[in-house]
Amino acid sequence: MMKKWSPDFDRCRICGTTERKHMAKGMCNSCYQKQWKKENPESIKQWRKENKEKIKQYNKQHGKQYYEKNKEIINKKNKLYNEKNKELVAQRKKQWALNNSDHLKLYRKRYYQENKDKIDRQVKQYRSENRELVRQREKASGKKYRDKNKEKSRERKRRWEKDNPEKARAYGMRRRAKKRNAEGNHTGKDRKFLMDLADNKCQCCGGSDRLAIDHIIPLSKNGSNGIFNLQVLCLFCNSSKGNHRNTDYRSLEFLQAVYSYRAEDWVRMHKISPELPIGATI
Ligand SMILES: [Zn+2]
Ligand SMILES: [Zn+2]
């Protein structure tokens, strides 16, 4: 004859198990405890109050395991709660983040390192889908940061300008051009190209002292900021240029080289045939 689970029952009368230990009233240990808890909420509350530290320790040890086991139910419950208490939850989150900023930083860093590829991919996609929004946000946060760290950002800017002189000058000119609503633009790379093409010599006097990129028709006279309005001049020739009418010192070969340089870009950017109609504005 099979051994009975308890004197009066073959199995737990609630859940039917024969595995767990028998407790009173034909219930297994687990069912009995559940029932007792249901019937004695006040005692539970009291016990929790008195054993906060113990509970904390227990959760630390078993919380993750418990969560993994009951994921779906927990997530559902949390979601419901969060929806019902939106403001409170947001407030708590904010407070928590403030109280745990160091911890959060570390956690984010680790999370990023563990999921680098995925995150980079997501960020890239988001940025390409929300270009204008991202640009505005970055502008705002960049300004905020610079206002907060004036000396630091000034130093960084100085360093960057030193390392990227032509790029920096291109930015400067772009700013000035924008102020005047000038047509066209050029990059630091374009400036380097022009300097090299001019053999790092002034196109007026052939000197190589204090060279700069010059607008042939000045921005102040509605000249373009594009590459076809640029030449290389030394400071002396530049300042003696004044308001003379004919101040284009570029040779025909120089101009042709600029055209074909820009045409290559044009072809690459637009993936079109390299034949360029004569006189086309690029
Ligand atoms: Zn049971
Ligand atoms: Zn010169």
User: pLDDT tens digit string along 11-59?
Assistant: 999 999 888 899 888 999 999 999 999 999 999 999 999 999 999 998 8
User: pLDDT tens digit string along 163-202?
Assistant: 999 899 999 999 988 888 888 889 999 999 999 999 999 9
Instruction: Give Cβ neighbours of residue 261 (< 8 Å, ≥ 6 apart).
Output: 193, 197, 227
What value does the mean pLDDT take over residues 261-268?
78
What is the reported pLDDT for 282? 45
Mean pLDDT (the chain) is: 88
Most trustworthy range by pLDDT among 133-137, 138-142, 191-195: 191-195
| % pLDDT > 70, the chain | 92
What is the reported pLDDT for 7? 86
Nearest listed ligand to the Cα of residue 234: 2
Q: How far is the CA of 67 from the centre of ligand 1 (A)?
A: 22
- The answer on pLDDT for 263 being more than 90 is no
Nearest listed ligand to the Cα of residue 22: 1
Nearest listed ligand to the Cα of residue 241: 2
* DSSP conformational letter for 16: -
Alpha helices, DSSP H only, in the chain?
29-39, 41-50, 52-69, 71-84, 86-99, 101-114, 116-129, 131-148, 150-163, 165-179, 188-197, 235-241, 252-270
Identify any residues that bridge with 233 across adjacent strands, giving them in sequence order.
212
Q: How far is the CA of 3 from the centre of ligand 2 (A)?
A: 111
Q: How far is the CA of 90 from the centre of ligand 2 (A)?
A: 65
Q: How far is the CA of 239 from the centre of ligand 2 (A)?
A: 9
What span, in angstroms and rounded, lies between the C-alpha atoms of 123 and 142? Answer: 18
- Own/partner contacts of 140-147, CB < 8 Å, gap of 24 or more, are none
Tally of CB atoms within 10 A around 190: 20
Is the CB of residue 234 less than 8 Å from the CB of residue 199? no
Q: Which tokens sit at 188?
A: 């630091």
Q: How far is the CA of 149 from the centre of ligand 2 (A)?
A: 41
Nearest listed ligand to the Cα of residue 15: 1
